[in-house]
Structure 1
Amino acid sequence: MKTIILSDISNSKETIIPYGLRLAVALESEADVLHVIDPRTHQGTYSSVSDSQSISPGETLTQAETIKLEKHRVSNEMDKLLSSEGSRLNYPLKINRLIVENSLEEELEHRFALNPDCLVVVNAEADEDMFENTSEIVRLIKKAGVPVIVVPPGEKFTDIGNALMPLNIDRNNYISMKKLRFLFDHFRMTVNAVGVASQNDYTELELKAIAWRDVAKEYVLPHSTVKTNILEGKDFITTVNNYFHRNNHDLLIMVNDNNDSKKAVTDTIMFLKTIHSPALVYFPN
């Protein structure tokens, strides 16, 4: 098991790296802090600073020099952050500091091939460096086929005690959920699986939810407290969102194994734009 934290060290907002490190400690996993420099976005430019060795202020930089300068800057910032955070952890966490030159998609494909049972941690806010918008984040998650925790910038890590999972009652997604057993087993959380129904469909969906709960508890979530709730409402996302915050959940879990992949992507984008809390997103391949 490995936790791969996508570095947002270039982002002007608060980094999610401390959250990822503390999550790795809680999961007793090794942590990769991965910073990807895409050469397509780092072209030659004028230097406003000096590296005191080979580059003077105002000098025209080649692409190779621009990337070298960026690696140097990121390396210094990451060293400071990891040194500070490592001293606070009070735990012998193995942290691999990785600064690579590649496209993000190609690098992640490589990392996932090496670590198929990994968990990825990524900033929820697109920084126009790694991701231009939330849709790009979701597109990458869908292609990855591994669980990804999307974290608001500056979010403080707390143990996950209460998770909410929008429930697709018409699909028995137990096999997909088994990929997340590591999370359920480590945190022994309460999993509140919810569906949304109109008044006419409420009783039928409630019975299906109870049947789903009993099977999930026995085969997938033996160490968790499992609850199901059918919420009355017209708009699925708004209803679930309001319930999430009203009941102080720590994590939103979205297992997107719906046959309608386009709707699953659209719903995920809307949830990530509006939930403003950590969300675990998984699109099984």
Structure 2
Amino acid sequence: PSDMFELKSEAIPGSLEWGQILLSVRAAPINPGDLASNAGAEAGGRAKKLPHGAGGDFIAVVMKVGAGCSVVSEGDWVIPAKPGLGAWRSLACVKEKEVIKIPTDLLPVEHAAMLRELCVAYRLLEDNGDLKPGDAVMLNGATGTVGAAIIQLCSLLKLRAVAVVRRHERGPNADFDKVSDRLKNLGAAEVLPDEGNLRRAKNFFAKPKLDCVGGVSASRLVDSLQDGCPLVCFGCLGGHPVSLPWHSLVARGLSVRGFSLRRWMTEH
């Protein structure tokens, strides 16, 4: 919205400080984390000081390197190593240690700009459920970037991806059958509408279940969880928190945990 953003111009310094580099931003996606950050909050509910540069992810080319830099050179491609750099701009002066160099032929520019989403998908599968070939993974919000990546990784790892998607009345996802076919072409073993009781699904024994929607959609995943299995929350596209009955925790031994790639990167 126009009342949240203001276009500003800043002069690029004539000389770089020790350890600084000058970047030319080539692509910067808009993701759900940006929406929360732009509203003044970071993951975890911490307030973010306003005003600040918008956008968290980008791919950029190193245009100039200051004294003391030894990792990147002019012409290298980089992505941010930490949040809060401000991605929605044409040029940026940042510290060398705040970016990660990537091979120029790794991915197309548009995909490299969303490398964070691809990493989220990998870590969600790697860190949850001790998964083995043949196991099933159920996820909602499956038409998003992370969902598509999870489905394709499941196919490569010989896991069965059970995609749960909301029915839309209009837009590109209005035809559920076409959405289902598209996700199955990516590797989904089954595509279910986000409605009713998912416990009846033949993949009831999916582990873990991955939630990026929250609210009623997350509750459906909880209802269909196998006893002792985790619900892993990595987003809240619906804007409402997970509602979990106490008996699900006590009697069924369920667990709910969150995942943030930004926190994972800080800890590792």
Fold agreement, TM-score > 0.5? no
Higher normalized helix content (fraction of residues): 1
| TM-score (normalised: structure 2) | 0.31
Q: Compare relative contact order (CA 8 Å, sep 6+) and give the higher one, 1 or 2.
A: 1
| TM-score (normalised: structure 1) | 0.30
